[in-house]
């Protein structure tokens, strides 16, 4: 079982709309620090399944850590979907769920910026956390474009109205209802967003909505690479079960040498202790990894992704999706060159700051130094 998984009690279930419920968690005192979170992050919930034992699904925290709210996720039923319907149908006050500690990179780093937020459907959940936090912590403006099928499907309608009433000069909310205006269009988004060029953009919603928003903002010369986006999808991997390493084809000039799975629970060297020497070779680079206050020096096979190497050594690296989408395994390359096979969550300025996703990272140089310090 993943060391970052914990049993949490659901204190209350709130019906938000006919299709969406909020699950409010009771976090016991001994887990409070572990469940500290930033606005925009998500929890991963283990949902029992008769077929597979369990499935794992991510749900963004809709609560704000800056507004004295209990940690809350909001789940909207996906038609034909397994976990969302199971959660909506089965969880009641007092239910216990197995939940991974908060994770994710869809997090504003600077509250002294104006924010342009775009959400559709259940995409409102991380956006709501960011919006409430920005109003509570920052002093700048927040504009929200919120698309829904019709008035009945708006999640958090009353809370948004109350916030507009409390912050009339700082918060602007525009609803786009398909029942009244049809689906959002790039032209409509660009017309709406024109006065807000220069705001930091956060976007969460289905793929079609994300495409239209990106096109609309593109018409205003806002680059897609500057748009921070959370993409909802169901996990194919299950971080609650033991992982299986994937060894890639060899890099040019090397041979495919996968690390034999190392013993689980290898004792980590404390930061002050110099670990045993590990030398780079044609097949392996050497990496020093700092994580949770401990340093490890490891041979890094050139065809193997950093996260797999760490997990094979029993090192408790954070991860959820292992597909580059969730940003949980983000880390910083402090020395050496790496390359990513895929990147769906880091934006340009984060790449420039040396951030990388461990689940997609291969070594390019011989000696590397990487820190999980996010």
Ligand X SMILES: Cc1cc2nc3c(=O)[nH]c(=O)nc-3n(C[C@H](O)[C@H](O)[C@H](O)COP(=O)(O)OP(=O)(O)OC[C@H]3O[C@@H](n4cnc5c(N)ncnc54)[C@H](O)[C@@H]3O)c2cc1C
Site residues, ligand X (CB under 6 A): 42, 57-60, 73-76, 78-85, 104, 122, 125, 230, 232-234, 326
Q: How far apart are the first and last CA of the chain?
A: 23
Strand order in the sheet with 200-204: 171-177, 142-148, 115-120, 200-204, 227-230
CA distance 341 to 343: 7
**Tokens linked to 356:** 């990388």
For ligand X, the closer of residues 213 and 295 by Cβ is 213
Q: How far is the CB of 43 from ligand X (least distance, A)?
A: 9
**Tokens linked to 179:** 């029942």
Q: What is the per-residue burial (b if ≥16 Cβ within 10 Å, else e) of 239-277? A: bbeeeebeeeeebeebeebebeeeeeeeebeeeeeeeee
- Which residues, in sequence order, are CB contacts of 60 under 8 Å at separation 6+? 40, 41, 42, 73, 74, 104, 106, 125, 126, 129, 204, 230
CA distances from 362 to 109, 141, 248 (A): 27, 40, 10
Q: How far is the CB of 82 from ligand X (least distance, A)?
A: 4
For ligand X, the closer of residues 10 and 315 by Cβ is 10
For ligand X, the closer of residues 79 and 253 by Cβ is 79
**Tokens linked to 236:** 């194919």
CA distance 307 to 319: 8
Taking CB atoms, the residue at the shortest distance from ligand X is 81
For ligand X, the closer of residues 50 and 252 by Cβ is 50
For ligand X, the closer of residues 73 and 368 by Cβ is 73
Q: How far is the CB of 231 from ligand X (least distance, A)?
A: 7
CB hemisphere CA count around 227 (13 angstroms):
24
Q: How far is the CB of 144 from ligand X (least distance, A)?
A: 16
For ligand X, the closer of residues 122 and 190 by Cβ is 122
Q: How far is the CB of 331 from ligand X (least distance, A)?
A: 18
Residue 266 backbone phi and psi in degrees, to 5 = -55, 135
Q: How far is the CB of 284 from ligand X (least distance, A)?
A: 33
**Whether 230 contacts 120, CB under 8 Å:** no
For ligand X, the closer of residues 181 and 233 by Cβ is 233
Of residues 283, 239, 240, the one with CA closest to residue 259: 283
For ligand X, the closer of residues 58 and 193 by Cβ is 58
For ligand X, the closer of residues 230 and 304 by Cβ is 230
Q: How far is the CB of 62 from ligand X (least distance, A)?
A: 7
Q: Are strands 115-120 and 96-103 parallel, antiparallel or unpaired?
A: unpaired
């Amino acid at each position: 079982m993943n060391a970052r998984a914990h049993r949490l009690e659901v204190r209350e279930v709130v019906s938000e709309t006919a299709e969406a419920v909020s699950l409010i968690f009771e976090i016991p005192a001994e887990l409070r620090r572990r469940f500290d979170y930033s606005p925009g992050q998500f929890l991963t919930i283990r949902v029992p399944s008769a077929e597979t034992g369990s499935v794992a699904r991510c749900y963004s925290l809709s609560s704000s850590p800056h507004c004295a709210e209990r940690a809350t996720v909001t789940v909207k039923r996906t038609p034909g979907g397994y976990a969302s319907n199971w959660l909506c149908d089965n969880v009641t006050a007092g239910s216990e769920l197995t939940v991974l500690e908060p994770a994710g990179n869809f997090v504003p780093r600077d509250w002294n910026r104006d924010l342009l937020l775009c959400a559709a459907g259940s995409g409102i959940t991380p956006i709501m956390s960011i919006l409430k936090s920005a109003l509570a912590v920052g002093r700048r403006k927040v504009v929200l474009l919120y698309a829904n099928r019709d008035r009945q499907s708006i999640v958090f309608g009353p809370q948004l109205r109350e916030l507009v009433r409390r912050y009339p000069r700082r918060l602007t909310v525009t609803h786009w209802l398909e029942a009244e205006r049809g689906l959002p269009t790039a032209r409509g988004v660009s017309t709406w967003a024109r006065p807000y060029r220069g705001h930091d953009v956060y976007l969460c919603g289905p793929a079609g909505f994300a495409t239209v928003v990106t096109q609309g903002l593109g018409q205003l010369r806002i680059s897609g690479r500057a748009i921070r986006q959370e993409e909802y999808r169901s996990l194919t991997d299950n971080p609650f079960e033991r992982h299986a390493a994937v060894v890639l084809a060899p890099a040019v000039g090397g041979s495919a040498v996968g690390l034999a799975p190392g013993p689980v629970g290898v004792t980590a060297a404390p930061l002050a202790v110099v670990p045993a020497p590990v030398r780079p070779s044609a097949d392996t680079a050497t990496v020093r990894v700092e994580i949770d206050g401990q340093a490890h020096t490891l041979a890094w096979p050139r065809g193997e992704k950093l996260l797999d190497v760490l997990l094979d050594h029993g090192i408790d690296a954070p991860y959820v999706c292992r597909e580059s989408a969730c940003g949980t395994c983000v880390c910083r390359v402090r020395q050496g060159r790496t390359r990513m096979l895929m990147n769906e969550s880091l934006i340009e300025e984060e790449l420039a700051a040396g951030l990388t996703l461990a689940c997609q990272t291969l070594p390019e140089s011989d000696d590397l130094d990487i820190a999980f310090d996010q």
